[in-house]
Amino acid sequence: MFNSTVEEIKQVLRYAMMKIGLRAGNWPSESETALIIQHVVFNYSSHTLDEIKIAFDMAIAGKLNADPNCFENFSCLYFSSIMNAYRLWAAEAYRQTVKPKAEQKIYTAEDLLDMKRGDTEAAYQRMLSGRQNVVPGVMKEMLVLDEFVKDENEIVDFLVSSINGGRKNLYIKDKP
């Protein structure tokens, strides 16, 4: 509502007055309307003009815990009773739509090793395409652990011979 003009707010208030059936003779005077607008802007500016319309539509449809009858007196108190009931409804509707966070998965040691193997394979693919020329620490760890090489001193020779030999993958068997 921060970007709304006074005329736009007046139009929404007129909409609400018409929806609740307020007779034209009981509409607020210009000074009362100015006071209501000041009250709306000060207390309900976090809502859009469409939300105000929705709140009054819901109130007259009996979907809010608020009496839609203003008893021929559209006042700040009456407006607040509708909007506060709307706020309660909206907060509950939001809570029902927000999904709880999924529980964090606890990975096994084998899961973690498989992730490292995936990282090693990804690094090898980058080396094959010429986008990487540095051997990451995880790759060194996994090549030794999985016995591709006996120690880290053999890694560069192993990778060069694998790449030059046409090996397409480290952890996926090449088709014959």
Burial of 137 (0-12, 13-18, 19+ CB in 10 A): exposed
Give CA–CA dist 174/176, Å, rounded.
6
CA 155 – CA 123 distance, rounded (Å): 13
Give the list of residues 6+ apart from residue 115 with CB closer than 8 angstroms, or none.
107
Report the distance separating Cα 122 and Cα 29, nearest Å: 73
CA atoms of 130 and 134, how far apart (whole Å): 11
Question: What is the b/e burial string over 75-101, where b = at least 16 CB atoms within 10 angstroms of the residue's CB?
Answer: ebebbbbbbbbbbebbeeeeeeeeeee
SS (H, E, C) 50-116: HHHHHHHHHHHCCCCCCCCCCCCCCCHHHHHHHHHHHHHHHHHHHHHHCCCCCCCCCCCHHHHHHHH
Per-residue pLDDT of the chain (176 residues; tens, 9 = 90+): 668 999 999 999 999 999 999 998 999 999 999 999 999 999 999 999 999 999 999 999 999 999 999 999 999 999 999 999 999 999 999 888 887 788 888 999 999 999 999 999 999 999 999 999 899 999 999 999 999 999 989 999 999 999 999 999 988 876 55
What pLDDT does residue 44 have?
94
3-state secondary structure 128-172: HCCCCCCCCHHHHHHHHHCCCCCCHHHHHHHHHHHHHCCCCCCCC
The pLDDT value given to residue 104: 86
pLDDT at 100: 78
Dihedrals phi, psi of 107, to nearest 5 degrees: -85, 145
Predicted TM-score (pTM) of the model is 0.57
> How high is the pLDDT of residue 89?
96
Looking at residue 175, its pLDDT comes to 59
